[in-house]
Structure 1
Amino acid sequence: MRIDERIAQHHGELSPQERKAAASLLEHLDDLATYRASELAALAGVSKATMSRLFRSLGYADFDEVRDHLRSLRTPGEPHRVDGTPDLAAHATQEHRAVQRTIAQPGVDEVVRLLAAARRVTVVGWRNSHPVALHLRQQLAHARGDVRLAPLPGQVMGEELADLAAGDAVLVMGFRRRPAGFGAFLREAAATGATVVLIADPTGIEHAAAASTWLECPVQGLLAFDSYAAAMSLVSVLADGVLSELGRPGSARVTAISRTYDRLVEVER
């Protein structure tokens, strides 16, 4: 298990100082292997003893074991060229495991019910998260009405937050290299009374407390760029679940939309 996954798994068991140290590890995975343990502690602003306790809490014997592991990881979100010919078979295996782990989370069913029952659904995503958010909004809009995407090009979020209230759902995509102010937005969204769902890679654990539900979705693979295969599979599972949850009204909406496509000759047949 990668160190970022271990941090996500054990985050709730860590002390506040260990969480502070863990956050530093997640932010600097690429170059941590070049530091000594004392330097890592200084970088995180914690004691060396705290850093050592964190390593043990994560299942490592000592920092040497952590260093060996860190050397195998690249900077979160930063593309690095893969030396030699990529092992595509190993890549496919890891992708398969990531998809299975993501869609099998207990919280998925809870999110499906929320998205089906909410008065309004707002799907939010910036940067790399935006295409995933756009796809989810498109799929949900086939099954139910009043599904919004934010932010729209050239727009900010204040207007979107102004209309939110209890009974609404806000689903936020938060994959790594999130924009500054991401945490502030989550807190503002939660303050409206709407139910907030966060879908993020393991580095998003620091923002999980601001959401009612957090679904972990890994993006780091064996190739140079992040993979969103698990994220897109989760979108399909959520949309399918909502359509099933809504039953006949959802199916009737799909049929009505398809008939409109035909009348407007909008898609190929």
Structure 2
Amino acid sequence: MAHDGAGEWLLDLAQAHRLSPAQRQIVQRMLGMFPDVAFLSTVEIAERAGVSQPTVTRLAAALGFAGFPEFRAALRDAVLAGIPDQRIPHRQDAAVAAIEQERANLESLKRVVGGDPMNQAVRLLAGSGPLGVVGLRASAALACYFGYFARRVLPAVTVCTDAGAVDDDVLQLSQQGASALLVFAMPRYPAGTVAAVRLARGLGLATVVVTDTALVPFADDADVLLVAPVGTGLVFDSHAAVVTLAISLLDAIAKTDPHRTQQRLEAHESLVDRWVHDT
């Protein structure tokens, strides 16, 4: 999406870098300080944003600048450039930009779901009984989401979201005859997630890792790496593409044994009247 004005320049810059939630919050507050923000010190920005001065300095580094003076010079250039439409992006503008980013993320999945790694992941996961699913911290909800629906079509699914117990869970899966492990690893990548992947491989389990970029430092520890970019335009990551990839993966696994899938879905359907609230 094309952006006009200094505020849009800052928003684009933030979306192009991996920022922490705290750093994104500072950017959002800075967007409301234009054009003055380009002429403020780190102390003044910190006071207005309600954060510490070192936090503002670290933001400049996270955005790719050698230091805050270089970042402020770039801000000034953007403000003084005289670009028509010096409109300041509000929160609504940031949300619209985030939706556009997620649209691009979803578009990128076409290459993933039609590629050889996806086919390999389906073969490995469909052949594992039980199937283990790991997701810690920010990835816990993704693991639970996948596991909730996976139990509708697969006979044995174990979801691991407790960092303190994940090693025990992986060991137990191996002892129960599992042959593959599905791992969701979204930023920031928990050390326990990487340790679980390495333990699984050491125990002879194939590892399928769903993450946000092929450049993760633990890429070599995965037998199959499936990439689904995350949205970074808001304070917290958004996972539209990751959820779509997860459910597409499960759909493909279910189709490897259509008879079993149909039987299990019909059995589940017979229980719906026990819990659904009909309005």
Into which bin does the TM-score normalised by the smaller protein fall? 0.5 to 0.7
Aligned length: 201
Taking a change above 3 Å as real, the CA distance of residues 195 and 103 of structure 1, as seen in their structure-2 partners, is farther
2:151 is the alignment partner of 1:141: yes
Question: How far apart are the structure 2 equivalents of 1:134 and 1:220?
Answer: 20
User: Shift of the alpha carbon at 1:209?
Assistant: 0.6
Q: TM-score, normalised by structure 2?
A: 0.63
2:31 is the alignment partner of 1:31: no
Question: How far apart are the structure 2 equivalents of 1:121 and 1:204?
Answer: 26
Taking a change above 3 Å as real, the CA distance of residues 198 and 115 of structure 1, as seen in their structure-2 partners, is same
Instruction: Quote the residue 2:236 is aligned against.
Output: 225
2:130 is the alignment partner of 1:124: no
Q: TM-score, normalised by structure 1?
A: 0.65
Secondary structure of 1:218 counterpart: coil
8 Å CA contact 2:134, 2:159 repeated in 1: yes
8 Å CA contact 1:243, 1:251 repeated in 2: no
Of 125-134 and 115-124, the range deviating more from structure 2: 115-124
User: Shift of the alpha carbon at 1:102?
Assistant: 2.8
Instruction: Quote the residue 2:200 is aligned against.
Output: 189
- The residue correspondences of 1:58-73 to structure 2 (distance < 5 A) are none
User: Shift of the alpha carbon at 1:2?
Assistant: 4.9
| One-letter amino acid matched to 2:221 | A
Instruction: Quote the residue 1:179 is aligned against.
Output: 190
Q: Which runs of 5+ in 1 are unaligned?
A: 5-27, 37-63, 69-81
Secondary structure of 1:164 counterpart: helix
Residues 134-158 of structure 1: per-residue CA shift (max 9 Å, x gap):
0001111111111110035x85123
8 Å CA contact 1:200, 1:215 repeated in 2: yes
Instruction: Quote the residue 1:234 is aligned against.
Output: 245
Question: How far apart are the structure 1 equivalents of 2:98 and 2:270?
Answer: 41
Instruction: Quote the residue 1:13 is aligned against.
Output: none
Question: How far apart are the structure 2 equivalents of 1:212 and 1:103?
Answer: 21
2:111 is the alignment partner of 1:104: yes
| One-letter amino acid matched to 1:231 | V
Question: How far apart are the structure 2 equivalents of 1:204 and 1:261?
Answer: 43
Task: Please tell me whether Structure 1 or Structure 2 has the larger radius of gyration of its CA atoms.
Answer: 2
Instruction: Quote the residue 1:84 is aligned against.
Output: 90
User: Shift of the alpha carbon at 1:34?
Assistant: 3.1
Residues 26-49 of structure 1: per-residue CA shift (max 9 Å, x gap):
xx886243317xxxxxxxxxxxxx
Question: How far apart are the structure 2 equivalents of 1:243 and 1:120?
Answer: 14
Secondary structure of 2:256 counterpart: helix
Question: How far apart are the structure 2 equivalents of 1:207 and 1:188?
Answer: 13
Taking a change above 3 Å as real, the CA distance of residues 158 and 31 of structure 1, as seen in their structure-2 partners, is same
User: Shift of the alpha carbon at 1:161?
Assistant: 2.2
Taking a change above 3 Å as real, the CA distance of residues 181 and 157 of structure 1, as seen in their structure-2 partners, is closer
Instruction: Quote the residue 1:168 is aligned against.
Output: 179
Instruction: Quote the residue 1:156 is aligned against.
Output: 165
User: Shift of the alpha carbon at 1:184?
Assistant: 2.2
8 Å CA contact 1:175, 1:204 repeated in 2: no
| One-letter amino acid matched to 1:185 | A
Secondary structure of 2:275 counterpart: coil
Instruction: Quote the residue 1:94 is aligned against.
Output: 101
8 Å CA contact 1:167, 1:195 repeated in 2: no
Residues 182-228 of structure 1: per-residue CA shift (max 9 Å, x gap):
32222111111111111111286111111101111211332222111
Q: Which runs of 5+ in 2 are unaligned?
A: 1-14, 19-57, 75-87
User: Shift of the alpha carbon at 1:114?
Assistant: 2.1
Residues 66-110 of structure 1: per-residue CA shift (max 9 Å, x gap):
x98xxxxxxxxxxxxx95243344432221110121353112232
Taking a change above 3 Å as real, the CA distance of residues 242 and 30 of structure 1, as seen in their structure-2 partners, is farther
User: Shift of the alpha carbon at 1:250?
Assistant: 0.8
Taking a change above 3 Å as real, the CA distance of residues 146 and 29 of structure 1, as seen in their structure-2 partners, is farther
Q: What do you get for the CA RMSD once the two structures are aligned?
A: 2.9
8 Å CA contact 1:124, 1:150 repeated in 2: yes
